[in-house]
Amino acid sequence: MSTTFTVALIQNCAGPEVEANIAETLAMSREAAHRGAAFVCLPEYFSALSSEGPRLTMETFLEDAHPALPAYAELARQREIWVLLGSLPIAAAGERTHNRSFLLDPEGRVVRRYDKIHLFDVDLAEGEEYRESATIEPGGEAVTADLPWGRLGMTICYDLRFPHLYRTLAQAGAEFLAVPAAFTKTSGKAHWHTLNRARAIENGAYVIAPCQCGEHAGGGWTYGHSLVVDPWGRVLADGGEAPGIILCEIDPAKVAEARAKIPSLRHDRPFESIGRCPELGDDCP
């Protein structure tokens, strides 16, 4: 479990054309595998990203009909690599959509699925607003998966702001925390690096966060800066603001090392919820 390995983060700027985005990211993924990556990770909505006002407007597929899945299954088999498909828009009941992440093994099999739990409904500066809940059906289950090098915790983008999810994953044995994202440029400048480093430090885990970059159809901008953060909070790789391949060597032994120095995962204690102050006869200030 302690053998080092190379992870590749694919940073793209997806448009609305599904086949074109898949072709581009497949070429980047093949190059990453050629350069030694054993685990290739793609961003949220890497196969298509577009919006109309606050709503996402990408083409949605039934899971068995999405063209990215067979294309990447073939790549995984050919190159004998693990692949994280950051997320794809998958048809749910009615007119809803799942924002779903897929983990493929070196035989091209889907071994885990994760549906994004926390939905991005926000109002940023100067009228910039997003309503992911207008089209997306939220997930309700935390998901881990066993890789050859340790356990992976699967999350997506806005989940990053909910530390209790990552604590749950770490307590379940996750040593690597995946955060595929299409983080907005506005919020990314303010919070992306800090949040990813915090999740790594809090849990003594690697954070692997491929993120889209650039301007997308409909006028939205994503931040880029795909990151690998080690369990001590050090940024090992930063993809900057342009499309590209980010390679980083991962040493799983660093997880045990960090957790031995600060064993906070063993120090969690139960506590009562906020109660009333008897002397005030009201909620505590």
Angle at 241 between CA 240 and CA 243, to 5 degrees: 100
Answer yes or no: 189 catalytic.
no
Q: Taking the CA atoms of 30, 221, 56 and 219 in sequence, report the sign of the dihedral they define.
A: negative
Q: Considering only CA atoms, which of 233, 235, 236, 230 is closest in space to residue 254?
A: 230
Answer yes or no: 116 catalytic.
yes
Structural contact between residues 157 and 44, judged by C-beta atoms closer than 8 angstroms: yes
H-helix or E-strand spanning residue 201: helix 193-203
Answer yes or no: 157 catalytic.
yes
* Residue 130 CA to its chain's centroid (Å): 18
Catalytic position from the list 116, 132, 137, 211 = 116
Whole-prediction pTM value?
Answer: 0.95
pLDDT digit string (tens) for the chain, length 285 residues:
559 999 999 999 999 999 999 999 999 999 999 999 999 999 999 999 998 888 888 899 999 999 999 999 999 999 999 999 999 999 998 889 999 999 999 999 999 999 999 999 999 987 889 999 999 999 999 999 999 999 999 999 999 999 999 999 999 999 999 999 999 999 999 999 999 999 999 999 999 999 999 999 998 999 999 999 999 999 999 999 999 999 999 999 999 999 999 999 999 999 988 876 655 555 555
Which domains are assigned to the chain?
5-283 (3.60.110.10)
Catalytic position from the list 24, 44, 132, 137 = 44
Return the half-sphere exposure (C-beta side, CA atoms, 13 A cut-off) of residue 98: 19
Catalytic position from the list 157, 211, 213, 248 = 157
